[in-house]
Amino acid sequence: MRTDRERGGPDAPPHLALHVGRRGPRLPLDEPQAPEGCGRKWTWAWRTPPWRLERGEVPTRPPWLAPAFALLAAALTAAAPVAAATARRGAPLLWRVEWYGRRSHLFGTVHLPLDLDAALGEEGRAALADAKRVFLEIDTSPDAALTFLLQALHRARLPENESLHALLRPTAWTRLTTATKGFLPPELLDRLEPWFVALAVVHLAVPPGRPVPGIRAGTLPLDQQIGERARARSIPIEGLESILDHLQVLSRMPRKEGVEMVEEALANPAANRDALATLVGAYIAEDDRPLLKAFGKLARHNPALAERLLYRRNQAWCERLVLWLRDGRMFIAAGAAHMFGNRGLVTLLRERGYLVERVRPTAASPSTSVRTRG
């Protein structure tokens, strides 16, 4: 049996795990089959127009794709370390959203394999079970996950006259090739865009931590668990954005920014591990303060990234949600960072006339309240 380190390690930089990373099911690397009844001959994934994938067609892989596909699949399924869960002292990241007595719920997730029932709390579990419709950031079905992976790889190739090793510092390139040894040959790694490497590769450089409570081995990430639970109850699922929209957020990352993210993660992997452990431990313990601190740091130190990764998407999602929320019994799940701040979903919905209140236990501590304004 392969160890965590051989699978790519259980760690990922905190900014990717909490804000960017999409963690999908393990996917077979056998040649994908055409949909039943379709007689078309498949082209390679990197030659397939997006509209064909949106229509349900599944391309075959080019020769370089198998190892890169395996690498990304490992990255998207790896578990991240968490600090030991402490006694609950706050409230789940769950809000009631009401419009003249019609109630829906808004839930902040992390894209990691944690205990969904504990994260939701009693009211969240009941709201999900009773929902008329569930909204996730993107469709998490297996077919959609495959489309996402193939389209990510389609966009991940550098132009023929460029190389990754020329973009990185020599020390960063050496660390990267060492970290990816056994997953991807250097000559193929050299052909990948920095944004793809930041998403799928740099977590390999983070040394594995000791096993800690919280991670549920063999469990899907929270958002995918929500999707599976909704499908089991035949509850319709909507994506807040399309797969192509989601990929554009990642693939349009400026080249310089991607390089900086890769080099930073490789330069201090232990610090990334500790930061992620702190954030996820806070999520488990329902302690908002470290999460708010991380959100504020992102907003202050990298406003362009926050604008692209959070604020623009929040605005687009809100415009979509107001078409549904007045019916009530909607369940919306999105990354925790999308909830906070003056341009977070909580504030945006309040500005549109909705009553949005945090769901709190009867004995909740006021010290962990979320500030959505100011």
pLDDT at 320: 94
Q: How far apart are alpha carbons 287 and 84 in whole angstroms?
A: 13
pLDDT of 80 over the 50 cut: no
Q: How far apart are alpha carbons 284 and 302 in whole angstroms?
A: 26
Q: What is the CA radius of gyration of the chain?
A: 20
- The string of pLDDT tens digits covering residues 243-270 is 889 888 888 888 998 999 889 888 877 7
Distance of CA 330 to the CA centre of its chain: 21
pLDDT at 75: 45
When the pLDDT of each residue in the chain is averaged and rounded to a whole number, the result is 76
CA-based nearest residue to 138, from 151, 124, 125, 128: 151
Could you tell me the pLDDT band of residue 363, with boundaries at 50, 70 and 90?
low
Answer yes or no: pTM beyond 0.75: no
Of 79 and 180, the structure prediction assigns the larger pLDDT to 180
Could you tell me the pLDDT band of residue 124, with boundaries at 50, 70 and 90?
very high
Could you tell me the pLDDT band of residue 139, with boundaries at 50, 70 and 90?
confident
Residue type, 11: D
- The string of pLDDT tens digits covering residues 327-344 is 999 999 999 999 999 999
Encoded tokens for 137: 């950031």
CB atoms within 10 A of CB 292: 18
Place of tokens 């959203």: 97
pLDDT at 19: 43
Residue 42: how many CA atoms within 13 Å on its side-chain side? 17
Could you tell me the pLDDT band of residue 206, with boundaries at 50, 70 and 90?
low
pLDDT of 307 over the 80 cut: yes
pLDDT at 374: 35
How large is the average pLDDT for residues 153-172?
Answer: 92
How large is the average pLDDT for residues 40-59?
Answer: 40
pLDDT of 93 over the 70 cut: yes
Are residues 195 and 77 in contact, defined by beta-carbon separation less than 8 angstroms? no
Helix spans in 92-134 (H): 116-130
For 112, phi then psi, to 5°, come to -140, 155
Are residues 42 and 59 in contact, defined by beta-carbon separation less than 8 angstroms? yes
Encoded tokens for 355: 């009553």
